[in-house]
């Protein structure tokens, strides 16, 4: 006799109570770090062939969005419920360049979660390829921060952002309960 499988339940954004989860949505996980592989596309480079400095923030946003998705939350769902996460502050420290077609690894980590704000930290690594004279020297990148899983990667940028939770009128509001519960350890 086969056991019936229970349907996965995801917490409601507003109340945190379980609701039926759509098939294929990941279950809430306790991990607060994500590493997202990204390939530098031609339109993201400047006339000198370097990854344009503004694209780092786009990559940070991509990783931050995937970090929420890993926990079963999407920005689209947050916005439908009236929770808007606006970037209040963003910092990027550029350590080394990236080039067209380079393979990058973008890391997003939740540093803290308060009543109305989330603070994330980011790192971007470039895959070190032997024989490539532009990349083989590391060009000032700090490799001492690369985790052991990421051997063969050169740290090229670090960043930090602060998101503020707003309502549809642009006023500060508390983060939804599902987010504060997921990340309550990160205060």
Catalytic residues: 46
Give φ, ψ of 124 to 5 degrees.
-125, 130
Distance of CA 121 to the CA centre of its chain: 8
The helix/strand/coil state of 72 is coil
Q: End-to-end alpha-carbon separation of the chain, Å?
A: 47
The position carrying tokens 């949505």 is 25
Q: Is 171 exposed, middle or buried (0-12, 13-18, 19+ CB in 10 A)?
A: exposed
CA–CA gap between residue 31 and residue 158 (Å, rounded): 20
| Sheet-wide strand order for 84-94 | 33-39, 103-113, 117-127, 153-166, 84-94
CA–CA gap between residue 145 and residue 156 (Å, rounded): 11
């Amino acid at each position: 006799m086969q056991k019936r499988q229970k349907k996965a339940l995801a917490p409601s954004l507003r109340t945190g109570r379980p609701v039926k989860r759509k098939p294929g949505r990941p279950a809430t996980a306790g991990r607060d770090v994500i590493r997202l592989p990204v390939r530098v596309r031609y339109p993201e480079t400047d006339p000198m062939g370097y990854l344009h400095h503004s694209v780092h923030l786009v990559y940070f946003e991509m990783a931050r969005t995937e970090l929420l998705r890993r926990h079963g939350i999407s920005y689209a769902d947050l916005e439908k419920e009236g929770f808007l996460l606006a970037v209040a502050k963003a910092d990027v420290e550029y350590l080394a360049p990236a080039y067209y077609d380079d393979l990058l690894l973008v890391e997003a980590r939740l540093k803290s979660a308060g009543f109305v704000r989330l603070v994330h930290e980011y790192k971007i690594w470039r895959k070190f390829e032997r024989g490539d004279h532009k990349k083989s020297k590391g060009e000032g990148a700090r490799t001492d921060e690369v985790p052991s899983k990421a051997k063969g990667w050169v740290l090229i940028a670090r960043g930090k952002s602060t998101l503020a939770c707003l309502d549809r009128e642009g006023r500060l509001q508390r983060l939804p309960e599902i987010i504060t519960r997921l990340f309550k350890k990160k205060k």
